[in-house]
Copies of this chain bind each other. A is one copy, B any other.
Amino acid sequence: MTDRAMALAAVTATAGELADCWEAVRDQSPLTQCLTNIVAAPFVANVLLAAGASVAMVDNTHEAEEFAGVAAGVAVNLGTPYDDTVTAMRAAVRGAAKAGTPWVLDPVGAGGLPWRTQVARDLVGLAPPAVVRGNASEILGLTGAGGGRGVDSTDAVEDAVTAARDLATELGTTVAVSGPTDHLTDGQSLLRLAHGHPWMTRVTGMGCALGALMAACTPVAPSPLVGAATATAALTLAAETAAESTAGPGTFAAALLDELSLLAPTDLAARVELR
């Protein structure tokens, strides 16, 4: 980690805040609009439903803007962008901005793929997202500092933290860099969580689901940083439990949905380690 990143305050959210946010997701069932990709869509929806959120994949050009004004949160994911769904994403971001709905950007493949990198930057330019979530290469790619190989990260999380902090400060957003240790920053402070399991990288849409879960948590959180951290904690803690009783990525993915639905706010508070 660089000296600049180390200068960020270490912990700015408490386990209790995360537990309260997780309880609020279940109690309020925030309506989460997802504009996501054809690969991750089913798993993303199942993660949100297991968490107790409500999900609507309204990603067409006719309805995306209006619906972003009704939704509690909006998740925009660039996994398989097409001309018409990108138009819908722009409409959703405009609608979210007008209504004050927090939106989350998941710039899948940014950096390595020039067209979608520009799409991601254009979306950010329309209205700053509450949260940007990506792997290290995607965060570096979005900021112009690097880029990955397709949708996989080729950079270490730690290398992206400075870029994440600068991006967070510039946009007034929270940036979450996913990896073995998740790094979350709002530009002022840094939050690290090291839960999860390697099988998470062997299930398609896991990162996309994390981004969408952040869009469900943020509307009921005291800050986007707490919302993003709650989503990260819940998904990675559920993954740890799921991995204990399963043999590989297939049964693990199903068990993870079970564990997410079973994860009590008190369990989350007791188990999460914030660094």
- Residues of A at the B interface (CB closer than 8 Å) are 31, 33, 37-43, 45-46, 49-50, 54-63, 66-67, 70-71, 79-85, 109, 112-116, 149-152, 201-205, 246-262
Contacts and interface: CB of A to CB of B under 8 A. Distances in A.
A61 B86 CA distance: 13
A106 to B, nearest CB: 14
A38, A50, A85, A250: residue with the most chain B Cβ atoms closer than 10 Å: A250
Nearest to A204: B45
A251 to B, nearest CB: 5
A43 B40 CA distance: 10
A49 B250 contact: no
Contacts of A115: 60, 62-63
A42 B208 CA distance: 12
Contacts of A256: 250
Contact of A203 (B46, B57, B202, B253): B46
A76 to B, nearest CB: 15
Nearest to A254: B250
19 contacts: A38-B57, A45-B204, A46-B202, A46-B253, A49-B249, A55-B204, A56-B109, A56-B152, A57-B79, A57-B80, A58-B150, A60-B80, A60-B115, A70-B112, A248-B257, A250-B255, A250-B261, A251-B255, A253-B254
A231 B53 CA distance: 27
B54 A149 contact: yes
B261 A71 contact: no
Contact of A150 (B42, B67, B81, B151): B67
Nearest to A247: B258
Contacts of A260: 248
A37 to B, nearest CB: 7
